[in-house]
Chains A and B, each alone.
Chain A
């Protein structure tokens, strides 16, 4: 497996502001994923971040709200823009090693509270 770290681990933000979450993998990976886990809910895929191309967003998520960067094979950022209390969630990044697509490994998550 590989190790994923995320920064920040948690934050409390004001409505209307933006927060950028960083995700670092200790190995080079092709695909990185961003998930959201709202309180009491399951993990929902926001987007897939591929190095060298635009992120692919899932239904219900748009680039203007959740811009993603993927500057190299070990790093990605997710920005939560113009936040509202409904954006309060745990945000997780994940990836997988070659040959193990389905067996994703996850970062520890970023717990975001929007006031």
Chain B
């Protein structure tokens, strides 16, 4: 039973447009949410996070939105760049346990 879901396995976006990656979770006890980016043959790298007490966190081109009532979060990348092409993992934590979603492969087309 997946506690963190990313229902879109892949996404293609034109360069310069907005990329929106979605994530849903089932455990209301999760208190921290993160996004990781992974290039082929590399380990995931931390991108941005949000505490459960907030509904938005912004860092440059990346913004994460959290809707606790819907148990949903999203990552917005604007403007999208070809270098953003990677697999994006949503993750959620409760205490000392981090659960990862299955990932969404983003392709930014020049």
Per the CB 8 Å criterion, the residue count for chain B at the interface is 19
Pick the most buried of A4, A40, A42, A101: most chain B CB atoms within 10 A of its CB: A42
| A interface with B by C-beta (< 8 Å) | 1, 4, 40-45, 48, 92, 94, 101-109, 111
Known interface pairs A42-B102, A102-B98, A108-B41; 10 further A-B residue pairs with C-beta atoms within 8 A, sorted by A's residue number: A1-B46, A40-B102, A42-B4, A42-B89, A43-B100, A45-B97, A101-B96, A102-B49, A103-B34, A106-B43
Interchain nearest-CB distance for B25 vs A (Å): 13
| B interface with A by C-beta (< 8 Å) | 4, 32, 34, 41-46, 49, 89, 93, 96-98, 100-103
Q: Once bound together, how far apart are the Cα atoms of A103 and B96, in whole Å? A: 11
Q: Once bound together, how far apart are the Cα atoms of A104 and B45, in whole Å? A: 8
